[in-house]
């Protein structure tokens, strides 16, 4: 039986379950049946053949009690782990035994429980909101599969005193595994949260992570978000982060992609209030046959918002990259200030990047700029460094590191910045060998 058929059977079972999430699942299942998996002719999936991942027999086992231990987790831990709030998903399911919430200001519960809580209205309004922007079978698949997901809220006027670390772990020791972690995160008025997340595949079987995180950022809240993707070369993922700014708020998102088979990111910023201030940074540094695809959407709904988007890529070996940056400025969104830039360096003849800005502007008094470049390392720079005694290979990796620097600098917590810097430096030294 094909992967899609077995998954569908499970989704049918889930949809029939009479729990609080059933209506959401049922609607998404309809959408999934309607969309199917994205075909290459799908405009948003032209260069990212995600359907191929499903050619394997993938197991999706959301009810499986899992064998992942704290010991197994160790290789994936990010610096500062001991002090942090920790959420662990194993094969897409919240693993309470491995997770801990230390901050009194953070409340954490299953999505099912949230539907029964005082947050029911909030959850109903936001769970699946990303589907309004991502009309494809992959997003629908996640929502149709809702199981083991988590609702988190950071309370009003509280800065979470500890950051939140999220680990998305896939156990691929026995079988090819499909993981679908799901989070709905809410930052109440004037709340602040620093969050970092990463992905880890255990074992040598294939893994595919279809993650959706939906975030609601209310008035005066501050959300700082770091996504570190350095999973195994045989692990693929579609990682969706959909952020609604429902009040004047601040978002700072940094996406660092270093490894994976197919890595597709959807980062959406929906600015629904005036005077929102948002920053999206990305650095991808790929090798082998890795494929990285960053799709971003900035939707300016209200006036006076500012967004700043800056992605950089270093592509080695036969790696391939996609950058697609959409900026919508709606009719009411006067005085929008939107900046976008994507710069790429190819360090191999076999590497390639497709980059495409897409601006749709319906207001007349706005400032939008965008630019993209795909180039090689600057020969003048290489010669300059070599003329000071720096060997060719060292000069090149130093220049690449310098190129990455302004994105690395956007990682505000120093231990995390140093950690990522080390990974990037090692990668670049390796690339140049």
Interaction site with other proteins (CB under 8 A): 378-381, 383-392, 394-395, 398-399, 401-406
Closer to other proteins by Cβ: residue 21 or 385: 385
Smallest distance from the beta carbon of 409 to other proteins, in angstroms? 9
Shortest Å, Cβ 394 to other proteins: 7
Report, in this order, helix, strand and coil percent for the chain, each rounded to 5. Answer: 25, 40, 35
Biggest distance spanned by C-alpha atoms of the chain: 72
Closest CA to 326 of 285, 266, 264, 272: 266
Closest separation in Å from C-beta 229 to other proteins: 22
- In 3D space, the residue among 126, 132, 136 whose CA is nearest the CA of residue 32 turns out to be 136
Q: Mutual orientation of helices 392-408 and 379-386 as an angle, nearest 10°?
A: 120
Compute the distance between CA of residue 186 and CA of residue 197 in angstroms, rounded to an integer. 16
- CB of residue 408 to other proteins, shortest distance in Å: 9
What is the spatial distance between Cα 158 and Cα 122, in angstroms, rounded to a whole number?
A: 19
The residue (of 23 and 391) whose beta carbon lies closer to other proteins is 391
Q: How far is the CB of 398 from other proteins (least distance, A)?
A: 6
Q: Which is nearer to other proteins, 162 or 396 (CB)?
A: 396
Phi and psi angles of residue 356, each rounded to the nearest 5 degrees, phi first = -150, 110
Least Å from the CB of residue 396 to other proteins: 12
Minimum distance, C-beta of residue 400 to other proteins, in the bound complex (Å)? 10
**Nearest by Cα to 48 from 349, 231, 326, 321:** 321
Q: How far is CA 33 from CA 5, 37, 236, in A?
A: 11, 9, 23
Rounded distance between C-alpha atoms, residue 63 and residue 60, angstroms: 9
Select 109 or 390, whichever has its Cβ closest to other proteins: 390
Q: Which is nearer to other proteins, 116 or 406 (CB)?
A: 406
User: How many angstroms separate the CA atoms of 26 and 17, rounded?
Assistant: 10
Return the number of other C-beta atoms located less than 10 Å from residue 32's C-beta. Answer: 25
Smallest separation (angstroms) from other proteins to the CB of 393: 10
> Minimum distance from CB of 385 to other proteins (Å)?
7
Backbone torsion region of residue 190, taken as left when φ is above 0, otherwise alpha when ψ lies between -120 and 50, otherwise beta? left
**Closer to other proteins by Cβ: residue 381 or 413:** 381
- Nearer to other proteins by C-beta: 161 or 378? 378
Complex with other proteins: residue 150 or 398, whichever CB lies closer = 398
CB of 345 to other proteins, least distance (A): 12
- Residue 232 sits at φ, ψ, to 5 deg, of -60, 155
Which is nearer to other proteins, 46 or 417 (by Cβ)?
Answer: 417
For other proteins, which is the closer residue by CB, 175 or 394?
394
Smaller CB distance to other proteins: residue 208 or 403? 403
CA dihedral over 58, 61, 66, 69, signed as positive or negative: positive
Do the beta carbons of residue 202 and residue 82 sit within 8 Å? Answer: no
Three-class secondary structure of residue 274 per DSSP: coil
**What does the DSSP assignment read for 355-391?**
EEEEEEE--SS-EEEEEEEEE---HHHHHHHHTTT--
Query: Which of 42, 401 has the CB closer to other proteins?
Result: 401
The CB-of-418 to other proteins minimum distance in angstroms stands at: 15
* Contact status, residue 381 vs residue 344, Cβ threshold 8 Å: no
Closest CA to 265 of 251, 282, 278, 252: 282
Nearest distance, CB of residue 404 and other proteins, angstroms: 7
Sign of the dihedral defined by the CA atoms of residues 372, 374, 380, 386, in that order: positive
Dist CA 221 CA 287 (whole Å): 37
């Amino acid at each position: 039986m094909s992967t899609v058929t077995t998954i569908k059977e499970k989704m049918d079972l889930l949809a029939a379950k009479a729990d609080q999430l059933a209506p959401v699942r049922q609607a998404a299942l309809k959408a999934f049946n309607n969309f199917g998996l994205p075909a290459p002719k799908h405009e948003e999936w032209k260069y990212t053949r995600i359907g191929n991942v499903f050619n394997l027999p993938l197991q999706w086992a959301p009810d499986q009690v899992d064998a992942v231990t704290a010991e197994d987790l160790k290789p994936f831990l990010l610096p500062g782990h001991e002090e942090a709030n920790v959420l662990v998903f194993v094969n897409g399911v919240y693993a309470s035994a491995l997770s801990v919430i230390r901050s009194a200001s953070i409340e954490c519960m299953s999505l099912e429980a949230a539907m029964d809580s005082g947050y029911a209205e909030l959850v109903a309004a936001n769970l699946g909101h990303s589907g309004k922007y991502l009309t494809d079978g992959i997003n629908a698949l996640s929502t149709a599969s809702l199981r083991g997901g988590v609702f988190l809220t950071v309370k009003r006027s509280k800065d979470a005193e500890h950051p939140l670390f999220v680990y998305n772990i896939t156990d691929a020791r026995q079988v090819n595994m499909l993981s679908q972690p799901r989070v709905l995160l809410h930052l109440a008025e004037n709340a602040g949260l620093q969050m970092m997340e990463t992905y880890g595949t255990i074992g040598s079987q294939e893994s595919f992570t279809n993650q959706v995180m939906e975030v609601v950022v209310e008035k005066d809240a501050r959300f700082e978000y770091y996504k570190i993707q350095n999973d195994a070369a045989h692990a693929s993922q579609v990682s969706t982060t959909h952020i609604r700014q429902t009040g004047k708020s601040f978002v700072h998102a940094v996406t660092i992609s270093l490894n994976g088979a197919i890595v597709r990111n959807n980062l959406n910023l929906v600015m629904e209030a005036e005077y929102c201030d948002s920053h999206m940074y990305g650095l991808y540094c790929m090798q082998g046959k890795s494929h990285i695809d960053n799709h971003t959407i900035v939707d300016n709904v209200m006036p006076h918002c500012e967004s700043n988007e800056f992605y950089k890529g270093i592509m080695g070996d036969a790696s391939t990259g996609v950058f697609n940056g959409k900026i919508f400025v709606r009719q009411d969104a006067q005085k929008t200030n939107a900046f976008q830039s994507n710069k790429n360096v190819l360090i191999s003849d076999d590497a390639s990047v497709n980059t495409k800005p897409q601006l749709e502007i319906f207001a007349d008094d706005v400032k939008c700029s965008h630019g993209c470049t795909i180039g090689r390392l600057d020969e003048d720079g290489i010669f300059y460094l070599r003329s000071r005694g720096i060997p060719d290979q060292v000069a090149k990796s130093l220049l690449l590191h310098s190129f990455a620097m302004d994105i690395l600098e956007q990682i505000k917590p120093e231990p995390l910045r140093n950690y990522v810097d080390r990974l990037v430096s090692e990668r670049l030294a390796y690339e140049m060998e």
